[in-house]
Amino acid sequence: MKCDGLELHTRLDLTAAARSINASFARMKADSVEPVEQSSNPLDTIGEVLPDVAVVGNRAGRLNMWAIQVYIYAMDDGCLIELVALGDGGFTRAWAGTRNSFSLSKSRNQVQLMLADLKKADPSLRLLSADAPVPAPIAAPPPSAPAVNAIARAAPPVTVRPPTDPYAHTPPVAAKAQSALAVSPASIPPVAAVPIGPVGVVRHLDSGPTTLVRGANIQLAPSALPQLRVKTTWQTPSGSGLDVSALALDGAQRAASESHFVFYGNPRSPDGALAVRSSSPGTATVEIVIGQLPTWVEKVVVIASVDPAGTQITFASVQHLVTTVHAVHDQATLAGCDSSSGATQETAMLLCEFYRRNDAWRFRAVGQGFFDGLAGVIRTFGLQTA
């Protein structure tokens, strides 16, 4: 697990600083706030200045897993605070075949929100890790954007154990010490019940010139190209699901940039050309801004893969797997395809692709299955998974 951190000085006293951070954890819907586990060997702490408060807060939501360590040192003129984001990089989480670990990018985003809350409580707050102003709060910054100015720091020993079940949280192991921070049980959202029976969305495509069979393609009108919305819906057995991702390829059909692989761990490319989101079970949307794609991009592929955090299934169990393409500016439906039929033991599927030909962009229905999941798909296009 990696960590990124920052140091800051505030004129708030220990109690006021603790209250501000406690409120931030509550607003971010932390599942737990626990004392950081300290070394049991007293020789380890000789010569060290121990913090007055040392806690770790985390959330283990299915699509929002983050963890933050907070250290507060009381001083004569206020407090020294260290905020440390914990987690694994999005690409690491993808090839590891699991989302069941904390996301470093999401942890960084939560650090930025906590930093903004502290700045509101103390406008004179200043960063010690850089001579830069405190950044303004950003509601949903892209993972690749600098959330905070990081400093190299060896974090004290801590056990942060992500849950084995994304719907049930097991708090991290921590020392039984008193903390100035605590999250009220009322601020922790209840665990949603897992529905019984098929989960997802059922859509049917009407036959017509814009409904494509596998292998067919259609040119997209230039007026639709500023921004495209690709909506995919499906239905799967209870406890299972799909993840949708997108990958930009160059003229050699290779992925030239890891940052232009958008998925649950990296939902937005740095330039904003690609983004993916899952609004509800059985629905996911990919946004493509053609004009912001790098000049080397010749193709964008849209992929569905079995959710590693749910019950493991194959695409033989997936029904009503429908993808439609829409122009964002007027919501017009441009094309669509149904990839439901013909699957057997596949665990990932290349649903469709957008490609450039003679200065025009075209859409092709693909429906090509892969037996080795999302990792197998991205390896096919040249991304290293180990």
User: Which of helix, strand or coil describes residue 269?
Assistant: coil
- What is the pLDDT, as a whole number, of residue 361? 93
Q: Yes or no: say if 363 and 351 are a contact pair by the CB < 8 Å rule.
A: no
| 3 state DSSP class of 95 | helix
Contacts of 318 (CB under 8 A, 6+ apart): 234, 235, 236, 242, 340, 343
Answer yes or no: are the C-beta atoms of 129 and 150 closer than 8 Å: yes
Determine the Cα–Cα distance for residues 338 and 325; give it in Å rounded to an integer.
Answer: 12
Domain locations along the chain: 2-187, 199-380
CA 360 to chain centre: 32
- The CATH number for 2-187, chosen from 2.120.10, 3.30.530, 1.10.3470, 2.40.50, is 3.30.530
Q: Which helix (H) or strand (E) holds 26?
A: helix 14-27
Specify the CATH architecture of the domain 199-380.
Sandwich (2.60)
- In angstroms, the CA 372 to CA 375 distance is 7
pLDDT in tens, the chain (386 residues): 445 678 889 999 999 999 999 999 988 888 888 887 665 565 555 556 678 888 888 887 655 678 898 999 998 889 999 998 887 544 444 444 445 456 677 788 888 889 999 999 999 998 875 433 434 433 333 333 333 232 223 333 333 333 333 323 333 333 333 333 433 333 334 433 334 457 666 777 766 668 898 889 999 988 888 899 999 999 999 889 999 999 999 989 998 788 899 998 889 998 899 999 986 789 999 999 998 999 999 999 999 999 888 889 999 999 999 999 999 988 889 999 999 888 888 999 999 999 999 889 999 999 999 988 898 888 889 887 65
Pick the closest to residue 248 from 257, 240, 239 (CA basis). 257
- What local confidence, expressed as pLDDT, does residue 183 receive? 36
